[in-house]
Structure 1
């Protein structure tokens, strides 16, 4: 009678598989995750394939959690408040190991006050939004969404199965290209010059071809850091466009 065939794995083979799993787990524990992780190092270690999927010989394929950047819409002028509150809540709720960074892309600027003095400011590149690098799961989503002054993630609206009510927003991670573009824009954007002026204010031109002329503001263009003023040139009121940096406000 032929001997029965055993379906149990060979003890030595099972031991080898367990060793591979243990080694892979140790590698993952000491390897940085998220966008800063080195895929080549993971591939060499034999734990991640070229598509970013965790591969363990003799074990089921598992996807390792990866931190991604997400855009979050917040109430007007509440960006800094949301950043500070969410950082604290992440620690309190025990998700600070998955909510890793909270950024408000900004560029430096200068504000000219009514008395002519200058104040250094930070101008937001995308007012009304903060960027969060996080591992997306139920706990981290709830931590973000329940933070005061947070409106919602930027993403795709998912309709409810029944009824006409709006569905919830499915967060959409930013692509590497989008993230690079946002931070590059913040780094390269020219310093913003803002001035505390309004139509009817009296100004003195301090630089340029009309230096020492006085006039009245008739239009302010904050986006262009310019204004139009009526200057008395040869006895006639003449509209002239000036840079914010070329004028000071008269008391």
Structure 2
């Protein structure tokens, strides 16, 4: 089925009805995603917290594409969703006799923290944000991070604890079992997959609620078991 329009001598402009339907469907899908994301907004958190039959709001962890942490945080904040990417401070380091400026960088790569109510609509909205890969623990029963641990973690970052992790000496080895000491994954054990001595990051495979979860954080955040 097609619709035809004539415009002077330019001939016929043929528009497929299927194309119109796809356009309308895409618009409806976009509106649905926005509505769902609104369920994770600050206003929704306040409103839903009054319903005693719903789970309490809290901090949850989104796994995102590495390098896109701040971009995801920006999109969420534009939608009035409370989010957090804990960053190091800009600092000076000496490398090979030269003073270099290290720009701020995420303390945990590939994750954005979100404060919301863990209801299905909110999780669907968050999963539809560009560059979001998954919700830690799964969208049905997401892992709830300890609020006190997050507050303490943020404070330590602001005080500069992680600013020079790249220069930290360590004795960790590949495939070694370690424990995460700070941040939203504090107390979880993990296995070392790789170590980036130059940047001070360590990649772990962490078992969270029976699901293997990749976590890349700084060397200051783990200890030997």
TM-score normalized by the length of structure 1: 0.40
Higher RCO structure, 1 or 2 (CA under 8 Å, sep 6+):
2
Bigger radius of gyration, 1 or 2?
A: 1
